[in-house]
Amino acid sequence: MDRMLVVVFDNESQAYQGKQALQELDTEGSISLYGYSVVAKGADGKATIKEKDDVGPLGTLIGTSLGSLIGLIGGPAGLVMGAASGALGGASADLDNSRIGADFVDDVNKTLSPNKVALVAEIKEEWTTPVDTRMEAIGGTVFRRALSEVTPDVNKEDVNAMKADLNQMKEEHSNARADRKASLQDKINQLDSKIQNFMQRDQERTQAAERAAQAKMKVLKEKVSAPRAKAS
């Protein structure tokens, strides 16, 4: 099952040990690691990306569930790019794009208090014991959530409701007095623009999810064909 994983540690040293443990679990075949990032929250509550995986199947994380979650972990104080982070292309973190619930983000942020560090990763795991055992031994608090499916119809009801309003406005416009037409036309234009932006965002979100799924499938096929490393 594909899951989002967040492990909160007391310091960076533990977080990097956790990252290494995930990589080892990936090598031995206990999990598949699609991408990761180490995020530190400063005393002022701002989150800084200390390290991230730019060479994995999820690339630079832009537009991915992992990239969105990293931004959400920044919380109200926002996200500060660390020297090792590179750039996320100015993309804003979006709860819909993260494909997890707001409650998960809230739980993580309550534990990720100032001066603590989080290892954020997207993984595939069949059972939770390998990750939990390694992370708890290092001193981490583990949060995980299965990723929801992204479908083209995810916001269909919202779009249909806006289209119904648009049709009603157009009907009113055709019967309105001259002094009302300009005002109604402005509202029609604004709502139509909102609908188009909404649909475009959903399309981009679906396409990003499809690209990520293809990349993950490639990784899994390569793991099947490659010899498994022996667990130490």
Per-residue model confidence (pLDDT) at position 81: 36
**What pLDDT score does 141 carry?**
93
- pLDDT at residue 99, rounded to an integer: 66
Closest CA to 57 of 133, 9, 121: 121
Tell me, what's the pLDDT at 85? 36
Q: Can you give the C-alpha Rg of the chain in angstroms? A: 22
Q: What is the SS3 assignment for 125?
A: strand
What is the reported pLDDT for 51? 77
Residue segments in the chain with a per-residue pLDDT below the cut of 70: 53-64, 74-99, 101, 148-158, 204-205, 226-232
Predicted pLDDT at 84: 34
| Residues in Cβ contact with 196 at an 8 Å cutoff, skipping those fewer than 6 apart | none
| Whole-number pLDDT of residue 80 | 39
